[in-house]
Amino acid sequence: MRRESHLLPAEATYRHTIPAGDYWIDSLKKHQVLRIVDVEGNQSADTLFFNAEDIADRYSAVDTIREQGNVYLSCGSRLLSTAGNVLAEIIADTVGRHDTLGGACAAESNTVRYALEKRTMHSCRDSYLLAVQKHDHLGIAKRDLTHNINFFMNVPVTQDGGLKFADGLSGPGKYVEMRAAIDIIVLISNCPQLNNPCNAYNPTPLEVLIWNADVR
């Protein structure tokens, strides 16, 4: 479901551009609002969420899908953790559907999907590993890098139960916005994928904005 936000970018307390292929990691306090903007369109924001008080209590695709009865995410979707806690809720969305099945690209998946020589190409998994290494004070380790959300990515489920990586539904300036239900840590890989046609083989920037908890 699509829904415009009433929040104004000029009133955001934080604003940052994530270059193509780079990562972003930061903490959100309870009730703060995070917006992720698809600056040029059809770029994937591979995103992980963690309970800031207990890193092992992290985003769970299984629990989120089961509780909402839908494999896609949009307005009203509550992002559940492995312990069943609500980490955040999507409160605005101008795209209408986001993937939580396709996972993040990695050396192994690049090899399987494309070719052996693609194994060494930069991947979201590489970005995640770099992020946790450089921000080890947050307490996130390699073992904590599990299933993610692919905001702006279109991965339809086929009739036989498979997955298909299709052209994106997003466009320039489209965004998704969520409110933290508890203190959380958010890790985004701005996907560097050069083999998937959904972004015309051209990774582009993302933008993140944060509003304080007193914004309603």
- Looking at the structure of the chain, the number of domains it has is 1
Task: Give the per-residue pLDDT at 167.
Answer: 66
Residue-wise pLDDT for 143-161, tens only, equals 999 999 999 987 666 667 6
Instruction: From residue 55, give the alpha-carbon distance in Å to each of 120, 143, 144.
Output: 29, 10, 7
**Rounded to two decimals, what is the model's pTM?**
0.91
Mean predicted lDDT score pLDDT of the chain: 88
Residue-wise pLDDT for 19-64, tens only, equals 999 999 999 999 999 999 999 998 999 999 999 999 999 999 999 9
Tokens at 152, concatenated: 């702006």
Task: Print the domain residue range for 151.
Answer: 16-204
The verdict on residue 215 lying in a domain is: no
Distance, CA of 51 to CA of 28 (rounded, Å): 10
The verdict on residue 40 lying in a domain is: yes
The verdict on residue 28 lying in a domain is: yes
The verdict on residue 127 lying in a domain is: yes
Distance, CA of 190 to CA of 194 (rounded, Å): 12
- Identify the bridge partners of residue 90 per DSSP, sorted by sequence position: 178
The verdict on residue 177 lying in a domain is: yes
CB proximity list for 144: less than 8 A, separation 6 or greater: 50, 55, 56, 58, 132
The verdict on residue 179 lying in a domain is: yes
The verdict on residue 210 lying in a domain is: no
